[in-house]
Amino acid sequence: MKLKKGTEIVVKIDSLVYGGRGIGSHEGMKVFVEDVVPGDTVKASLSRIKNNYAEAKLVELIEKSPQRIEPKCKHFGVCGGCKWQFLSYEDQCKVKEDQVRDAIVKIGHLDGALVQPIIPNETPWFYRNKMEVSFDTQNRLGLYPKGFHYEVFDMEECFLQSELMVEIVGKMREFQKKYKIPAYDSETHEGLLRNLIIREGKNTGECMVILVTSTGIFDHKNEFITLFKDDPRITSLYWTTVYQVPGQPTHTEEALLHGKPALTEILHLENGQKLEFDILPKAFFQTNTKQAEKLYSKVIELAGLTGDETVLDLYCGTGTIGLFCAHKAKEIVGIEENEQAVESARGNATKNGITNATFYLGRVEHRLSDLQHKPDVVIVDPPRIGLGEEVVNAVAAFGAKKVVYVSCNPSTLARDLAYFAGLGYFCESVTPVDMFPQTHHVESVAVVVRG
């Protein structure tokens, strides 16, 4: 039978690949199917056909895998978020460790034995410290179903966020309905309400609520303030306005309506260190606070600082990793392109009495060329696209004895480790860290040494 788009086939799923899709085979061709677990036998409809593989959409679950479990959330299947709820947490960790090892071998051309056992999450539910939900023109407030960009579903429960965060969403939904405030329509550019962002200090109990609107008169600003200002759990209340004109750069303006300008969080590391961090509304901070403490502990362990080193901290965000290294280093130099993050990093250094840390604003690839510091250790925590060959070459040119690489993408990590190997930096270990239970995402920490 000639395979064509729309043809329905039966596939036995063998494993999950990075990105969350299952892979099986049909008549010698690899077939990728979403929303399946290893061991499932499914009927799937082909959606894309290439020379040596095909992609297909799940039509029917013919035989369930013994690994498949009942999802916890009632929005599962509609929400595009935590799509691995149908796997036990133990199986999730095993799959993620295998995927990191697979990338290291197939893309990085390195020994799979370099990959260490994954560091699991002790609390695989209610771990997120940040939530962003959207308003739509049907007066709903929630998340986008997979494949949808304009209409959301009303989020009534979520087991990745705290009960407080879900409660705040419910209050805002009723607030919108009570005052009949129109949501922003991206096609007509009419309406006001865009998003609601909630940030939470897991170790401090503080909570920041940010209402994002388009330009226009917010007639019910005082009522919005009243809705939250008497709740002692809400320590910061912001109103952010998005200025968006076709053909011109989009920019935002923030107005603090009530409480503190920053959210304070405390991180505790396994070596007994404790630091306080002030987080501004736009500043990046690891989404899983408790697991970030384990991640940073691993980074500091691998950095192996003795007190004499100059440490270069690239893509440093609010300075968390560099500041934790400061007491065991001679000097910390951080680079970050997010202006609020750099502001937070500098403030966090002052807040914690750290005087040997300097943070520069700018894109890493632009700043490295004129940097006067000569680092002994380089720590990098780039976005999903990784470093790329240009930045790897620039980092290697410093001649640092060690590079510690924090990655949220096994594929680009493996590619960059191969670049480092070509420049005389050899990988000693790669440790997966599960920062995002119930999803396919996985963090890793790798260390490469010169010569």
The one-letter code for the residue type at 380 is V
CATH of the domain at 242: 2.40.50.1070
Whether 391 is covered by a domain: the verdict is yes
Q: Are residues 273 and 238 in the same domain?
A: no
User: Do 35 and 170 fall into the same domain?
Assistant: no
- By 3-state DSSP, what share of the chain in percent is helix, strand and coil, each rounded to 5? 25, 35, 40
pTM, 2 dp? 0.90
Alpha-carbon torsion, ordered 100, 102, 105, 110, to 10 deg:
20
Same domain, 340 and 192: no
Q: Is the domain of 433 the same as that of 287?
A: yes
| Average pLDDT, consecutive stretches of 10 residues, N- to C-terminus, the chain (451 residues) | 82 90 89 93 91 90 93 90 92 96 97 98 95 93 84 93 95 95 90 96 97 93 95 97 84 94 93 91 91 95 95 94 94 94 94 95 88 92 95 94 97 97 96 96 97 84
If asked whether residues 186 and 326 sit together in one domain, one would say no
Q: 137 with 50, same domain?
A: no
As given in the structure block, the two tokens for residue 315 are 């893509």
CATH number, residue 446:
3.40.50.150
**Of 190, 225, 259, at which residue does a domain stop?**
259
DSSP helix/strand/coil, 140: coil
- Spatial distance between the Cα atoms of 335 and 366, rounded to a whole number of angstroms: 10
Q: Are residues 287 and 392 in the same domain?
A: yes
Element (H, E) at 390: helix 388-397
Q: What is the CATH number of the domain that holds 59?
A: 2.40.50.140
Catalytic residue (choose from 73, 79, 316, 408): 408
Nearest to 320 by CA among 284, 272, 353, 363: 284
How many structural domains are present in the chain?
3
| DSSP element (H, E) containing 347 | helix 339-351
- DSSP-based three-state secondary structure for 163: helix
- 2 burial class (0-12, 13-18, 19+ CB within 10 angstroms)? exposed
Domain ranges, residue 19? 8-63
Note the pLDDT tens digit of each residue in 247-287.
Answer: 788 889 999 999 999 999 999 988 888 999 999 999 888 99
User: Helices 410-422 and 89-106: crossing angle, nearest 10°?
Assistant: 30
Please indicate, yes or no, if residue 82 is contained in any of the structural domains.
no
pLDDT tens for 353-401 read 999 999 999 999 888 888 888 899 999 999 999 999 999 999 999 999 9
Q: Determine, yes or no, domain membership for 167.
A: yes
Q: Are residues 350 and 216 in the same domain?
A: no
> Tokens 């796997």 sit at which residue?
87
Same domain, 298 and 435: yes
68 lies in some domain:
no
Q: How much is the pLDDT for 349?
A: 96
Let me know if 427 is a catalytic residue.
no
pLDDT of residue 31: 94
* In a domain? residue 135: yes
Q: Do residue 254 and residue 335 come from a single domain? A: no
